[in-house]
Structure 1
Amino acid sequence: MIAVVTDSTCDLPPAVLSDMGVHMLPLSVLLQDRPPLCEWNEVDPDEVYKRLQAGESVATRPVEARTFRECYRNLLTRYDAVVSVHLSSRISNTVQHARQAVVALNELDRIRVVDSGVSSVLLASAVLSAQRESTQGGDLVSVAQAAVDTLRDQYGEFTVPSLDYLRRGGRISPVQYAVGNLLDMRPILGFDSEGHLKALRRVRSGESARNILGTLYDRFGKDPVRVAVGLAGRDHQRLHELRRHMQRSGLNIRAGRTQLIGSVIGAHTGPGMFAFVAEPYDE
């Protein structure tokens, strides 16, 4: 049996991951008046969003190498091997720390670390694919390949309703912030082939959802797909609106899920950020 490990930026609740047999290691969230908190386990995303809205700064910290060592050492006493799938190495040192742990344990033949090159909803899709392959009896190579195949075949984009948090985090310049607000333009964000999160284009704020879904339709057409909707914040009305946009997109949807985007990703984008993701659906 192959163990599947991921980190908390896959933005799937710990209870859900545990029920599926996936092992999750949390990144840390640093609030102004508290010690480092484990994402999901010790801090709720809505608390982070509330503090951001109050003007507080929030920082994040990757999973430490020693945490990976302890996790891998324990799992290798119970599993044949481990596939460890994590957020892009271009935006976090988590993958680097995972690889350091593998070397320290001298277990290169039994642990495969996958740098997803993405995060959040996109990372979750890769983790779910790996776990399905593991449950079906896959070996180390096929479980890792299941994650890689999903990362290659899926596509997704993000956007934000407010530019304030990107400006505060230094991700856009004051000029870009001023012009964007003046013209009511918002960036459509996506990961490039090297794992960088970049602005792909800019659209009117009210057109973001339809624009992203149009891009997904251009890519997948009427082929059957598995879809996901992610939203930063427990805004049930907004989530319903996004699901309705997805249902009316023209995509041939065979399966889907919704996700609450967690504290680490939300700390850099702010509340209200949303994502649409699609991948080929295999029977």
Structure 2
Amino acid sequence: MISRRQFVIGMLSAPFLYGTLRLTHLLHAPRPVLHLTIMGASSCMGYVKAVLPKWEQGHNSVHVAISGGGSYAGLKALAHGQVELAIADVIPPPGYIVVPLRRYPLGRIPIVIAAHPGVGITRVSWRQARQLFQGIIRNWRQIGGPDIPVVVVSRPLSSGARDVVQTRLLGESEFSPHAIIQLSNGAVAKTVRETPGAIGYVEAVMPLGNLHIMCLGHHCYQRNDPGQWVLFAEPAIFIREDAEALVVDLAEYLAQDPRRPAFGIYPEPAQGGRG
């Protein structure tokens, strides 16, 4: 039998024991994981995946998910509050984003003209390049190549790389309506490499072996001297102006990591003009 004295002591000590057990549970319980999401330009995702683990090591309660989808898709998701960071190599056009944003430049990525090795042509003029992508030149023999139909490979409208080529190469002209559309940089490279007569454009953030990189006008892309190339994207990290400190910290880390050139993102401005 429990004596009255024992009962009273038990009642008085119960809150203390409960509090002690609760504190012990909180101290040993796993910390809640915060989730952040980065979405946007596929050309930068290799860099982000490579450098992100170091940041996460210093923020062990944070998990960062990464998704491609293209520059415009990332910006739209950021504006709608679906992601915390967007990577885009375009400046949002007026009216596209209605919320205030902060921009953290990453550098510049060369965009090269790539063709199937079988086309045999090493150089095209700016006019020839435009007409190839427009579909006006339909056979490589029209510009001194073999008798092979031209197959245009391009990116979707959500791609910043397409926006650069459209603006700086095609101008008011449009891509061929028969162009094969691929969603990623890697998919364009694979399609061009495996399709006789194909021509496309890729951001030079990957090994370019087995791709026939063409000179454009008087300019030829050189991996060891990317600054002299003439077509380039300018990727940046975008966050909302009212982003919390953790998001700002991640954006600053990605924008300042010195390993960017190893992934084809060069901090020095590219030089050169149209030929």
TM-score by shorter chain over 0.5? no
Structure (1 or 2) with the greater strand fraction: 1
TM-score normalised over the length of structure 1: 0.26
Bigger-Rg structure (1/2): 2
TM-score normalised over the length of structure 2: 0.26
Structure (1 or 2) with the greater helix fraction: 1
